[in-house]
């Protein structure tokens, strides 16, 4: 399992690959391909330098580097960047449990900022708390890493994701996939 085509600089400074994700819950190859392909299309993640640190069933780990151009006014990483990586981790954790042919959209999330985001990079680990046919609830924690060592958590997210049918080419609004039981 490797990064997803980031320039090497984005992985400098200790952004790890796949630490902490057990092989026991590995994704089947089709689902992994589907998720990696979707992550690759999230251009904001490329802009922010995010890399994949782990993909498993119901659990996704993404790394955000510290960069001087991602900060708030005091030189800590901006809550918007922390949120971006946590949101994507939650979305793909949810997507990892959805059947092929479904896309995922964020319904809502709530983020508590626990500490200023200082460190060399920031690891967002998202897990599914409740997977439903239409809605999936995820939790994510973002932890700072500095000097090659895990520091304390900087943010917690609690999020709702929605399974949708992808629209036709051209960008039709996706529609929910649920249907009444028969």
- Dist CA 179 CA 31 (whole Å): 23
Q: Establish how many alpha carbons lie within 13 A of residue 173's alpha carbon, considering only the half-sphere containing its beta carbon.
A: 2
- Contact between 100 and a second copy by CB under 8 A: the answer reads no
Pair 44, 112: CB distance under 8 Å: no
Footprint (CB under 8 A) of a second copy, residues 162-181: 162, 165-167, 171, 173-181
- Contact between 147 and a second copy by CB under 8 A: the answer reads no
CB-count exposure of residue 151 (10 Å: 0-12, 13-18, 19+): middle
Instruction: Among 56, 111, 142, 144, indicate the residue that binds a second copy (CB under 8 A).
Output: 111
Nearer to a second copy, 12 or 44 (CB): 44
Q: Which helix (H) or strand (E) holds 156?
A: strand 149-165
Q: Which residues, in sequence order, are bridge partners of residue 104?
A: 163
Instruction: Among 1, 26, 137, 146, indicate the residue that binds a second copy (CB under 8 A).
Output: 137
Q: Which two tokens stand for residue 179?
A: 């249907």
- Contact between 78 and a second copy by CB under 8 A: the answer reads yes
Nearer to a second copy, 68 or 100 (CB): 68
Q: What share of the chain is helix, strand, coil (3-state, %, to 5)?
A: 25, 40, 35
Footprint (CB under 8 A) of a second copy, residues 6-65: 38-39, 41-48
Instruction: Among 6, 57, 151, 158, indicate the residue that binds a second copy (CB under 8 A).
Output: 158
Q: Which residues bind a second copy (CB under 8 A)?
A: 38-39, 41-48, 68-75, 77-81, 83-85, 87-88, 103, 105-116, 118, 129-130, 133-135, 137, 139, 153, 156, 158, 160, 162, 165-167, 171, 173-181
């Amino acid at each position: 399992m490797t990064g997803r085509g980031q320039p090497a600089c984005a992985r400098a400074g200790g952004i790890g690959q796949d630490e902490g994700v057990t092989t026991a819950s590995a994704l089947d190859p089709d689902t992994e391909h589907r998720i990696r392909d979707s992550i690759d299309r999230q251009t904001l993640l490329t802009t922010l330098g995010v890399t994949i640190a782990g993909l498993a069933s119901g659990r996704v780990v993404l790394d955000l580097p510290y960069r001087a151009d991602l900060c708030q006014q005091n030189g800590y990483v901006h809550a918007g960047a922390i949120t971006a990586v946590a949101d994507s981790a939650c979305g793909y954790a949810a997507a990892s449990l959805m059947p092929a042919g479904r896309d995922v959209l964020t319904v809502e999330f709530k983020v508590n900022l626990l500490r200023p985001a200082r460190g060399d990079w920031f690891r967002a680990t998202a897990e599914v708390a409740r997977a439903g046919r239409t809605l999936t609830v995820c939790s994510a924690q973002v932890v700072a890493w500095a000097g090659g060592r895990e520091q304390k958590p900087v943010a917690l997210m609690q999020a709702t994701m929605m399974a949708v049918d992808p629209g036709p080419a051209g960008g039709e609004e996706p529609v929910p996939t649920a249907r009444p039981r028969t």
